[in-house]
Chain A
Amino acid sequence: MNNYDIELVSVSKSFAGLPVVEDLNLQIPRGEFVSILGPSGCGKTTTLNMIAGFNTPSSGDVRVRGKSQTRVPPERRNLGLVFQNYALFPHMTVAENVGFGLRMRGTPKAEIGPAVEAALRSVRLDGLGARYPKALSGGQQQRVALARAIAPRPTVLLLDEPLSNLDLKLREAMRIELKEIHEQLGMTFVYVTHDQEEAMAMSDRIVIMWQGAIVQQGEPDSIYRNPATRFVADFIGRSNILSVSWSAGEAAFLTLNVDGSPIVLRSACLTDPQGIRSCCIRPESIVLLDGTQELMPGQNRLDGVVRRIVNLGAHQELLVDIADGLALTVLVRSGRSSSPPEPGSTVTLGIDPHDVQVLSD
């Protein structure tokens, strides 16, 4: 017996011959908060529906706690589901909504009441049990949906873009709350979203999907620092992506030529140098050198001209031309003392070789 709550084994799904999910392999350990992150249309909902049982895989196997679910209908999978549009039962009160799962399983009445109250307490809605869903705000409705899904104590909670209908402030507050509820319940959460910030903020692990396949998975930090492909580098956070080819050096001392320009970059990445096709540099890892600083040995040093500046409040975003047709986005913290350079002025950029992440596509 392994420790996985959910396993997808070579799962594929096509609709009318069109493949939507292809050969997906995924293992979700018990108790983890896992996000499935990808642009819309990449097959996230389809994947979640195959776990829940509403879509049957064209091939492959879905397992819950080691048991194949092929012959198990959705109502016997014991998985909680939270939808983007809440999907509350409008003809039932909040308490009736939350107690629905227990009622359908024939739980004795005496146990339903306390369970409903506990579930409402954990989403901080105690006292609203007698209301109808329509009388609640969007955020409250989504909490009711959450309470309804967790009240029967499902094996896993599946959430499909649950915060997308809420406004930004509420969404950010709910992220923290969802994370707290996850910790408090110790239940496995599978969270589907197209919002990379949301996934970064909450997840123990992120699974990045693109065009029906998993392109990378790992802890949020490691995905951010070591994106595996151009797509991931571009999709997660902001990045400068440059097409490069390896010219010299081994292991931690790679020398890369930037295609179509005389610029040379040093990278400290450990990969097969033959496979390098491009590299990614995060805007916040580039520093402005003002001449007084000593260059660290091996550090990249590039001269450029500031094309434009965008004031983002806490940060200034500079677009710096470093060669013909080649510009880098640089993020510098707005300081009280130092004023940002003027557009048109010449600057020197410093990039640590560890921050030049090589990519194979």
Chain B
Amino acid sequence: MNRVLACLFWLAVGLVLLFITLPLAVVVAASLSPSSAVTFLPWEWTLDWYGALLTDRWLQPFLLSVRIATLVAAISGVLGILAAYAIVYERIPGATAIMAGLLSPLSVPQIVKGVAIVLFLSIIGLQGILGTPALIAAHVVLALPFVTRMAATSLANFDGNLDRAAQSLGATKRQRLQHIVLPMIKPGVLSGVTFAFIISFNNIPLSVFLVRPGDTTLPIAVINYLEYSLDPVMAAVNVASMIFILAVIFLFEKIGGFSAQLHGGSK
């Protein structure tokens, strides 16, 4: 009986993994195909389509997306830490209501949010910031719930005795935040910040309303390109951004650098 269950379990796991990876494999294969029609399992291989990415047409949107995503990650990281600090650590009055407010963007569809932001900006006469500044602001609103939530969870799991121990050892509040609280919640904050980066870097539904023509982010450039052609360049763009995102995740994981303490061992 247990045997059968185990077999079924691993079968299910295998199918899920296959379901996740197979489309990616198709895209990778397509990006390497010499034929300009998108095909799966081509018999010859080429990297030509990747060469096409190294032109302004793709490099400009890529760099813009990286710049925006980096700023969004940094800004939402700082704001998320501050919000979580006030809500969880200081337990300011109305903490629960503030948390609910900060998480509320999660419950509004992004398209609705996009329209709302455009309307709002034109009503208050700030159409001028449409484009990069508006993109950054909108992405921060979108990413903040994730960062705040993760930072708040880390802070809530933080053992108050550590703080008390540090205090009894003479650490002032500023010293405790710097030497104890921040390092302890760093892994949580960093995963929140990683989310923020990816959310911004991949975003289409909000960005569509806010980009200025001729100054687009990478996903919007992809959408624009798709309107006219479906060829292996598309596949190459997607594979390249996937690799980039993996690299970013890996980098943040490294910065988190918590494995040493979690598994013991010397510095």
Chain B residues, Cβ within 8 Å of A131: 264-266
Query: Min CB distance, B245 to chain A, in Å?
Result: 28
| Cα distance A354–B165 in the bound complex, in angstroms | 48
**CB-defined contacts of B262 to chain A, threshold 8 Å:** 134
Interface positions of A from 152 to 178, Cβ below 8 Å from B = 152
Let me know if A52 and B168 touch, CB within 8 A.
Answer: yes
A89 adjacent to B166 (CB under 8 Å): yes
Decide: B170 and A104 in contact? CB cutoff 8 A: yes
Which residues of B have CB within 8 Å of A130? 266-267
Stretch of B57-65, B113-121, B156-164 with 4 or more beta carbons under 8 angstroms from chain A: B156-164
Interface pair A83/B161, CB less than 8 Å apart: yes
B175 touches A87 (CB 8 A): no
Bound-state CA distance A133–B179 (Å) is: 16
CB of A148 within 8 A of CB of B169, answer yes
Q: How would residues 160 to 199 of chain B score, 1 for a CB under 8 Å from any chain A CB and 0 otherwise? A: 0110111111111001000110011000000000000000
Do B164 and A132 touch across chains, with their CB atoms under 8 A apart? no
Whether the Cβ atoms of A76 and B170 lie closer than 8 Å is yes
Chain B residues bordering chain A, tally (CB within 8 A)? 26
Chain B 107-137 near chain A by CB (<8 Å), digits 1 or 0: 0000000000000000000000000000000
Which residues of B have CB within 8 Å of A334? none
Cβ of A62 within 8 Å of any chain B Cβ, yes or no, is no
Please tell me if the beta carbons of B168 and A79 are within 8 angstroms of each other in the complex: yes
A residues within 8 A CB of B170?
Answer: 75-76, 78, 101, 104-105, 152
Interface residue count on the A side (C-beta < 8 Å): 32
Q: Which residue of B lies closest to A76 (CB)?
A: B170
A135 contact set on B, CB distance < 8 A:
264-266
Cβ B260 vs Cβ A104 within 8 A: no
Distance in Å: Cβ of B49 to nearest Cβ of chain A:
45
Q: Please report the C-alpha to C-alpha distance between residue A80 and residue B167 in the assembled complex, in whole angstroms.
A: 10
Residues from chain B with Cβ under 8 Å of A83 in the complex: 161, 164-165
Q: Does A74 contact B (CB under 8 A)?
A: yes
Question: Which of B164, B168, B261, B265 makes the CB contact (< 8 A) with A90?
Answer: B261
Chain B residue at minimal CB-CB distance from A78? B170
Distance to closest chain A CB from B2 (angstroms):
34
Q: Mark A20-56, 1 if CB is under 8 A from B, else 0.
A: 0000000000000000000000000000000010100
A120 to B162, CA, bound (A): 20
- A93 CB–B CB distance under 8 Å: yes
Residues of chain B contacted by A80 (CB below 8 angstroms): 168-169
- Cβ of B3 < 8 Å from any Cβ of A? no
Interface hub of B159, B164, B183 (most chain A Cβ within 10 A):
B164
Q: Could you tell me if A75 and B172 are in contact, using CB atoms closer than 8 angstroms?
A: yes
B263 in the interface, Cβ–Cβ < 8 Å?
yes
Distance of A89 Cα from B260 Cα, bound (Å): 14
Q: Could you tell me the distance in whole angstroms from the C-beta of A63 to the nearest C-beta in chain B?
A: 18
At the interface, yes or no: A85 with Cβ under 8 Å from chain B? yes
**Assembled-state Cα–Cα distance A104/B163 (Å):** 13
CB closest chain-A residue, reference B173: A75
Alpha-carbon distance A226/B232, docked complex (angstroms): 93
Chain B's nearest CB lies how many Å from the CB of A196?
A: 25
Contact of B164 with A74 in the complex, beta carbons under 8 Å: yes
Chain B CB within 8 A of A191 CB = no
- Which of B159, B164, B266 has a CB less than 8 Å from the CB of A54? B164
> Nearest Cβ distance between residue A89 and chain B, in whole angstroms?
6
Given A89-B162, A101-B170, A104-B166; 13 other pairs, CB 8 A cutoff = A52-B168, A77-B168, A83-B164, A85-B159, A85-B161, A87-B159, A87-B165, A89-B179, A91-B184, A132-B266, A135-B266, A148-B165, A149-B168
A-B contact pairs, 17 of them (CB 8 A): A54-B164, A74-B168, A90-B184, A91-B258, A93-B266, A100-B166, A101-B169, A104-B166, A104-B170, A104-B172, A105-B170, A131-B264, A131-B265, A131-B266, A135-B264, A135-B266, A152-B169
Interface residues of B, Cβ cutoff 8 Å to A: 159, 161-162, 164-172, 175, 179-180, 183-184, 258, 260-267
